[in-house]
A and B are shown apart, each in its own frame.
Chain A
C-alpha cells in the first residue's frame, strides 16, 4: 500500500488545531476559584428594606447597570460576559441565592475586579433595594433567611467581645469606611508602578502565513509588530506615536523589512465636544483605518483590497485636525442615545503618479510630501442612531499633481456602516460592516509629448472599491470553546479603468474562522477566492496569529 506523505499545508493546519487545543485549558485555568466570601459580620447584616413593591421596582431600575455583565435575566450572560475573568455570576443560581442578604450587599458594595465596587455610586438604600430585586431572579426560591443568621444579626459578633456594650465596637459605617479605604489603597498600590503613570506602551502585531493555491510560488510567513506610545502629560493633552515594524516577503522569494510611522501626533481637548491636534494622524476617511486596522480587531488575516494592497483612500497623513462628537438629545425618543460624530482636517494629501509608465494615474498615499500648494481638505460626518450602529460619509478634496504637470484635482468619497448587535435568538453577536470608496481623479494626459515612452495617455480616471463583511460569534453558547469561535464572510473589490497602467479590477470572496484565545489574542484561518478581470487570479489560504496589548 502506498503511503501519502503528509503535505506541509495539512501539517500546518494540524499545528494550528493543536495550538488551539493546548491553549484552551490554560485560558480556562486562569479562572480563579470561587473564593469570594463576605466576612461573617457582613454576611449577617440584616436587610432594612422590606422586599416589597417599591423597593423591588427601584432595585429593578438600578439593575440596568448590571445587565451588561450579568445579563437581562441575571444569568451571568450579558454582552460583556465573554471577555471577563472571572465570569459574572449567575444571579439566579442557588450558589448566589443561598447567600444571605448581607453577603450580597457586601459584594455589591465592595466589588471584585472586574466587578466595580458600587459603594460610592449607589446609596446604602439603593444597594439593599438591589438585593431585594436580585432575590426575585431566583430560579429556585431560597428558604426564608436561616434562623441561625437572623439571631446573631440582632447582636452582631463585633459586639460579642465587648461586655460593657458599645463604646469599643466598630460601627457599620466605620467598617464600610475601612473597606472603602482599603480598596482605594489597593488601587493606589496598583497605580504606583514606577514609570507607568500617564505613559502607556501598548501595541499589536501579527504573524501571517499565506499560500497561493495555484502557482509554484512558495508559501511564506510575514510578520509585523506595531508599538503604540501614549503620553498624557495633562488631562487635556495627549501625545501619540505608533509605527509598524514589518518583514514582508514576496512570491519571488525576496524579503524586505520596513518601518512605517502611522501616528506621530499631539492632540488637545478643547471641551466635551471638540478636540484639535496636529502631526501625522490616521485619516478619518471611512472607518477601516481608524477603527478596524489592528490585527486583533480586523477579523480576517488581510485587509480589504481598497484599504490594503490596492488602496484607494488615505491611511495616515501630515496636517492638522479637529474632531469630536455630540449627543443628539432631541432625538432620544425614537432612538437610543443618538450621537453625531464629526472630523475635519487639512493635510498634504496624496501624490498623483505621472511619470511611471507602470503606475501613471494612480495615487500614492504613503509619501507624505506635498507636491504643490493645494492642500487636501477633508472630513467625515457620522451618525449613531443607537450605540450599536455607526454610519458615516467622508470626503477628501486635493490637488495632487506634481509641478510641471497640468493641475489635477482629486475627489475621494466614502460611505461606511458598522453594526454590532447581540441577537439573543441567534445565541451570539452579529457584526455587519460595509464600506465603499469612490475615487475621482480629474482627467489628465500622462506623458503628453511621448518623452517617457508611454504617452500620450489620457483616460477617465474613476475608481471604486469596498467591502461588505458579515461575522457571527456564538457568545451565548454554554461551551467555552464554541463561545470563542467566530465565523466571517467578506466580499471585497476594486474597479480600475481598463486604460489605467496600474492596478486592475478584482473581486474576492473570503471565508474565515477565528478562535479568540483572549479578547485581544486570536488565531485566524481564512480562504480567499480571487477573481481578476485580466490577469489570472489566485486563491489564497491564510493562517494568522494576531494580538493586541
Chain B
C-alpha cells in the first residue's frame, strides 16, 4: 500500500515541481532559464547551494578555503566541473 501511494506521490510531486519551475516563473525571470554554460557563477551558486542548505555568505571563507570547500561540495552535491569553477570564482570574487 505504501508502495502504491509512493508511486502516485513521487511522480506527482515531480511533475508539479517541474511545472512550477518551468512555467510559474514571472516574466522578469524568464532570462534566468538557460543552459549551465550560459549562467553566471552567482546564479549557479544560488540555484545549487540552496537546494540543500541556506546560503553561506561569501565572507564565510577566504579565497583558497572556498576553493577546497566548493571542491568538497562537488563531491557532496554532484556538481559538474563547470559549475564548480564558476561558483568558486564567484565566491572568491565576493568574499
Check: A154 CB closer than 8 A to any chain B CB: no
How far is B64's CA from A421's CA once the two chains are assembled, in angstroms? 31
Fill in one digit per residue for B47-67: 1 if any A CB lies within 8 Å of its CB, else 0.
Answer: 110111111111101111101
- Which listed residue (A72, A275, A391, A420) contacts B10, Cβ 8 A? A391
Shortest distance between the CB of A403 and any CB in chain B (Å): 34
**A464: B residues at CB distance < 8 A:** 2-3
- Could you pull out 5 A-B pairs where Cβ atoms are within 8 angstroms? A114-B57, A114-B58, A187-B95, A193-B62, A519-B57
Q: Is the CB of B14 within 8 A of A391?
A: yes
Task: Enumerate the 8 nearest inter-chain pairs by beta-carbon distance, A residue then B residue, closest first.
Answer: A272-B81, A386-B21, A83-B55, A387-B47, A341-B78, A72-B28, A519-B54, A116-B94
- Given A68-B46, A193-B62, A329-B35; 11 other pairs, CB 8 A cutoff: A65-B43, A68-B45, A85-B57, A116-B90, A198-B67, A202-B69, A238-B68, A336-B21, A387-B48, A415-B6, A420-B51
Most A CB contacts (10 A, CB to CB) among B26, B61, B68 go to B68
Check: A135 CB closer than 8 A to any chain B CB: no
Fill in one digit per residue for A406-440: 1 if any B CB lies within 8 Å of its CB, else 0.
Answer: 00000000010111110110000100101010100
Check: A54 CB closer than 8 A to any chain B CB: no
- Which listed residue (A114, A198, A325, A420) contacts B59, Cβ 8 A? A114
Check: A371 CB closer than 8 A to any chain B CB: no
How far is B11's CA from A389's CA once the two chains are assembled, in angstroms? 12
- Which listed residue (B32, B52, B54, B82) contacts A272, Cβ 8 A? B82
Majority SS at the chain B contact face? helix
Shortest distance between the CB of A334 and any CB in chain B (Å): 7
- Which listed residue (A83, A290, A339) contacts B56, Cβ 8 A? A83
Q: Is the CB of A113 within 8 A of B58?
A: yes
**B61: A residues at CB distance < 8 A:** 200
Q: Is the CB of A116 within 8 A of B9?
A: no
Q: Is the CB of A121 within 8 A of B65?
A: no
A269 nearest in chain B by CB position: B81
List the interface of chain A (C-beta within 8 A of B): 60-61, 63-69, 72-73, 78-80, 82-85, 111, 113-117, 121, 187, 190-191, 193, 196-200, 202, 230-232, 235, 238, 240, 267, 269, 271-273, 275, 277, 282, 290-292, 296-297, 323-327, 329, 332, 334-337, 339, 341-343, 382, 385-391, 415, 417-421, 423-424, 429, 432, 434, 436, 438, 464, 466, 468, 493, 495, 516, 519-520, 548
B61 nearest in chain A by CB position: A200
**B35: A residues at CB distance < 8 A:** 327, 329, 332, 337
**B14: A residues at CB distance < 8 A:** 385, 389, 391, 417
- Which listed residue (A69, A82, A187, A327) contacts B63, Cβ 8 A? A187
Q: Is the CB of A113 within 8 A of B68?
A: no
Q: Is the CB of B9 within 8 A of A434?
A: yes
- Which listed residue (B29, B62, B93) contacts A72, Cβ 8 A? B29
**A327: B residues at CB distance < 8 A:** 35-37, 80, 82
Q: Is the CB of A273 within 8 A of B81?
A: yes
**B67: A residues at CB distance < 8 A:** 198, 232, 235
**B92: A residues at CB distance < 8 A:** 187
How far is B30's CA from A137's CA once the two chains are assembled, in angstroms? 17
Q: Is the CB of B71 within 8 A of A230?
A: yes
- Which listed residue (B10, B34, B52) contacts A336, Cβ 8 A? B34
Q: Is the CB of A296 within 8 A of B53?
A: yes
| Given A230-B72, A388-B17, A434:B22 Cβ within 8 A | no
**B50: A residues at CB distance < 8 A:** 79-80, 388, 420, 429
- Which listed residue (A83, A117, A197, A336) contacts B33, Cβ 8 A? A336
A189 nearest in chain B by CB position: B62
| Given A67-B28, A79-B46, A232-B68, A116:B93 Cβ within 8 A | yes
B13 nearest in chain A by CB position: A417
Most B CB contacts (10 A, CB to CB) among A80, A429, A432 go to A80
Shortest distance between the CB of B79 and any CB in chain A (Å): 6
| Given A386-B21, A389-B17, A421-B17, A339:B36 Cβ within 8 A | yes
Q: Is the CB of A388 within 8 A of B32?
A: no
Q: Is the CB of A121 within 8 A of B40?
A: yes
How far is B84's CA from A232's CA once the two chains are assembled, in angstroms? 14
How far is B35's CA from A62's CA once the two chains are assembled, in angstroms? 16
A287 nearest in chain B by CB position: B52
Shortest distance between the CB of A495 and any CB in chain B (Å): 7
B20 nearest in chain A by CB position: A421
Q: Is the CB of A290 within 8 A of B76?
A: yes
- Which listed residue (B52, B59, B64, B76) contacts A196, Cβ 8 A? B64
Most B CB contacts (10 A, CB to CB) among A198, A386, A466 go to A386
B30 nearest in chain A by CB position: A64
**B62: A residues at CB distance < 8 A:** 187, 190-191, 193, 196
Q: Is the CB of A432 within 8 A of B17?
A: yes
Shortest distance between the CB of B90 and any CB in chain A (Å): 6
Q: Is the CB of B18 within 8 A of A386?
A: yes
**B64: A residues at CB distance < 8 A:** 191, 196-198
B77 nearest in chain A by CB position: A291
Most B CB contacts (10 A, CB to CB) among A292, A385, A423, A432 go to A385
- Which listed residue (A117, A275, A290) contacts B74, Cβ 8 A? A275
